[in-house]
Chains A and B, each alone.
Chain A
């Protein structure tokens, strides 16, 4: 049988590979390690002694740790940096010394200054804080052992999921606790705003990268060389967040490839034999930033990170945040991932120190790997009963929205449904942490009481508000990866005009394509996903599939209904048709995350097109909307001649157009309505407002100016 404890570090990934072609392994057979609560020992022994204890981690091939100053000079003296400095100096005409200085300033701003004393300080304070905030911090210790082994063999990259600011402190804290080499962590520059904390983080191993540095070659060079130097020499595990930023929705974000590209480079260029990548799944029972995120998604600006704000957040300390589960996944060998996928010979043809844009096959390889790694994170995310409850509550809430209906759900009903969903999700391979020894009603009750900020038991009924809805949605989102493929299939069956397998597949593939910015769906894996979804639904008796048809069974309707309802808010978000937002059913539609993904999907599908940074639309109905938009614009910018450039739809294929027709038009309307400012007053959606003012308006003005200068005679 499949054995995840095998000493082969690649087993985990090997499964991925075979799954691509063979029948998917039954997710119910997934074996996962057991957890230990590491806080328990903290509660029983001295934090001070713990913080001051002897710390002697094993390192990669016994390298001696490298002082950060030595590291810096290695970076600055590298061939790569020399090359880029010369190049920049040639291009800009600046003296090389000047550029060199800039490089060293960049490095200074970026580099970590890991100090054991700071780590000890954090070890002490975090122990105190964690003990008050959390009931337990559970870690799979077998994963820790695997990691320890991996660190000795190859340079290691740690890829934790990112849901909270806590994540990287927690990671370092754990590695310190288990006497593992402390990682250096890529952190966003926003932290630097917090003066003292920023420096403290730096001294605990964080290095800071600017959020955007566009075409700044020098910055990119220094940054990538810095990371690669650490990795090549195995000085320390490199840690970063594949998702690029904290997910505000608890849904994994589509991976960002920049850093992954960098860390794969030393392997691809043959500078190291292999690199182990360790996905780490961190699941919070309650997220510290819970309501903060919801507000942010609604367009209330995120407070700037500042130390004082952190202290204001102190009231957080008085609350109960349940437990955290940290699962260190199987180390994945980049070598075995690349086997048969990339031809490393291509790297022989250009000197290693000369930066080169990755070729398409490399780009695809990195992209696929990134998706697989995010999925590996998702698979080992621990789901709490509350996640299931949130899903049920939300669905119930929407069903009850019709006027006159009572709101909320009876407790017994909820419990009964929760048990049903528990069993379903287990069948789909969810990593569910449901205390089997307690009675279901107790489980439900205690979950509800932990989240009493979001739900209230009032005469047995519950209340709502936008913020709360979004927070709940975030919890529901944690379970999405378990259900996404079956849910896409269920919705596809729903949407398809017949039961014909081909039709269902087409519909599935359209939905999957549309949502590929929304969920983690590996690029190019449509067929596998379809097969997996069929397999699961057939297995659980929901579907009957034969070569021609896909039929929902009698007892399958409940599951199908649940699954369809799960996707419903997203579908609405992508096709919402109201110019008047008051008809809105799902609060998610207001979420900037959803809007962003929608726009990205529209761009990807060619429904809209970006020209010089602004958006133009590819649709036959667009002119109508443009007229309408122009009216709105005229109110805003007093310019009677405003014109937005638009394009014919000739390059959308006929079938595509048909499918897009509905969705696109609706989306455009919605975006326009946001853009034009109608809803801004109502819902304060800043995103749309910003989008309009910063993207579209200036361009319109530019266009107008062009026209003015061109046709001077005609303009009034």
Chain B
């Protein structure tokens, strides 16, 4: 273009251009091909500059797609429509746009809730109710010069001030905000995090890593006594897969990637991690590592500690990582175990190498109905004993089973419901199952087709020995399909004075049946969600109608979740403080009881060494 105007014959021009290119080349020094990479250093560290954040789920401003005072996407929720029927809105899920006829009845009969008694949430986030930020000016100034984006907008801060414990959401619905972070930063790569941590140490600023915000242990709550400026370090923009190594079957991934993106992107290359916690839509790889998460299909793929090959974490003392990516090593205590479960108290996990597997060739769902919960547990025990657990095996008690039924969407095909009816008839009448006692196990098999079929047969044979009756693929599939929408249900309940919470523990096989506490207010469901050689993970769901109670959360906390009695009971019965949700601040008073005083001392000394000034001051665990 412009060069034409410089005059001279075209030939001369060409020569001139050639020469100029050469000069330019010299001026730029090395002739290597990385000139483009140099320009965008941060985004190209791993040689994968394509990894634009397009196609990623989580934007910097979460409020663009997510609720500020409830679970999940803004466009997806349960509600009762004008006809009084329950409906699930949006387009994202299989259940989206469907009517759920049984839900109203179930809520009314189980909790005595009524559509007439509605208690809607505060509709919009009132920024003026949020404490103004306490900023550390020197920190902010230096941060500015790094070019790393940050914000002290009230909405941004409120979004990072909580996880999804009942009390946290309840407060938000009432428009109450406690101590919230003073600032949010969005690093986009490891080096950004290094810079932020350095600055935080220099200016004595409190950092709280934030992954997907799905914590259910008050881990993200800001300690109210914290006087320093609190900066929430949101990892969500560190979301690239840096490389996939097909030889060693590993992938090196930035820690902020959320589960659904990780799986989808790996699937594009024909792989998966198989790590599927129920929160995988929103929870992040770094969050999993930081909380020792567990996925539904751990029987095949393992829990996070089995999946992690290598971790890089930025701490106030510097970066910690192993020098190799070996399958196992005998080099003293595994330093990964200081990192896994550290719950953001030691540093920020920035990059993780995880195991990957080729995507399964074949998947098959299944379900088995047992006459009662005890039989079901015995069956699961046997399956574990024979080490033939499918990818996932979950046992729901009778209440859960009924709840599952209440969530059945309206089906257009009469034929399907007819078949359903037939099955119900068959199960309850001919086999003599008591509809108020029977329970169901859902199964998921994965692998190559032949092996799956063989495996399925083996499991059904075991089930039969415990009175279990195969109840079809559909029941199984529906169970897993509902996994993601169930979390939305709590918000509906809260609209009608019903509050609920779940918690989990792990217990040895011989201690499976905890004594009922017999608190009349409380409806409790139980489910066994994971099995191991030596025990299982047990889930409890509690919910109740609080209409007429003055301070329901307090009552709820006292009575159910954190009451000394309840926890003591579990711990006394040989259960654990947590199988996978972690300790956070919610359960930390039982830590020393769980890991012994010496154990606490060990953890404390690690904290004191790594972070003497408590920069990572979320005060979880210890």
A interface list, Cβ under 8 A from B: 79, 87, 90-91, 211-217, 219-220, 244, 256-258, 261, 301, 345, 348-351, 354-357, 596, 599-600, 603, 610, 613, 637, 686-687, 689-691, 693-695, 697-698, 701-702
Contacts and interface: CB of A to CB of B under 8 A. Distances in A.
A34 to B, nearest CB: 37
Contacts of B243: 350-351, 354
B19 A687 contact: yes
Nearest to B312: A349
B165 interface: no
A690 B6 CA distance: 9
Contacts of A357: 34, 37-38, 44-45, 47
Interface in B1-41: 1-3, 5-6, 15-17, 19-27, 29-38
Contacts of A256: 29-31
B252 to A, nearest CB: 7
Contacts of A687: 19, 23
Interface string B466-487: 0000000000000000000000
B324 interface: yes
Given A357-B45, A691-B20, A693-B3, A349 B31 contact: no
Interface in B237-251: 243, 245, 247-248
B136 interface: no
Contacts of B19: 301, 686-687, 690
A355 B243 CA distance: 10
20 contacts: A211-B22, A212-B22, A212-B25, A214-B33, A214-B35, A215-B34, A220-B34, A256-B29, A301-B19, A349-B321, A349-B323, A356-B46, A356-B47, A357-B34, A613-B24, A690-B20, A694-B3, A697-B2, A697-B3, A697-B6
A87 B27 contact: no
Interface in B246-297: 247-248, 252
Contacts of B585: none
Contacts of A217: 33
Nearest to A82: B246
A497 B1 CA distance: 52
A57 to B, nearest CB: 31
B325 A348 contact: yes
The 7 closest A-B pairs by CB, nearest first: A220-B33, A215-B36, A698-B2, A693-B6, A690-B16, A345-B323, A351-B245
A637 B7 CA distance: 11
Contacts of B321: 349
Contacts of B579: none
Contacts of A257: 29-30, 32
Contact of A354 (B6, B35, B245): B245
Given A357-B37, A596-B26, A261 B248 contact: no
Q: Of B25, B33, B248, B353, which is in contact with the most chain A CB atoms at under 10 Å from its CB?
A: B33
B607 interface: no
Contacts of B47: 354-357
A656 B193 CA distance: 33
A356 B19 CA distance: 30
Nearest to A220: B33
A344 to B, nearest CB: 10
B310 interface: yes
A637 B245 contact: no
Given A686-B16, A686-B19, A698-B1, A90 B50 contact: yes
Contacts of B21: 211-212
Contacts of B604: none
A596 B50 contact: no
A90 B52 CA distance: 12
B32 A348 contact: no
A376 B297 CA distance: 61
B48 interface: yes
Given A90-B50, A354-B243, 13 more contacts: A212-B31, A220-B34, A256-B29, A258-B32, A349-B325, A351-B245, A351-B248, A357-B45, A357-B47, A690-B20, A694-B17, A697-B6, A698-B2
Contacts of A244: 31
Interface string B104-131: 0000000000000000000000000000
Contacts of A90: 50
A698 B30 contact: no
Interface in B418-451: none
Contacts of A600: 26-27
A693 B24 CA distance: 13
A31 to B, nearest CB: 35
Interface in B551-565: none
B33 A689 contact: no
Nearest to A600: B27
Contacts of B31: 211-212, 244, 256, 258
Contact of B324 (A216, A345, A695, A697): A345
Interface string B300-322: 00000000001000000000010
B18 to A, nearest CB: 9
Nearest to B353: A349
Given A256-B30, A348-B323, A689-B16, A214 B23 contact: no
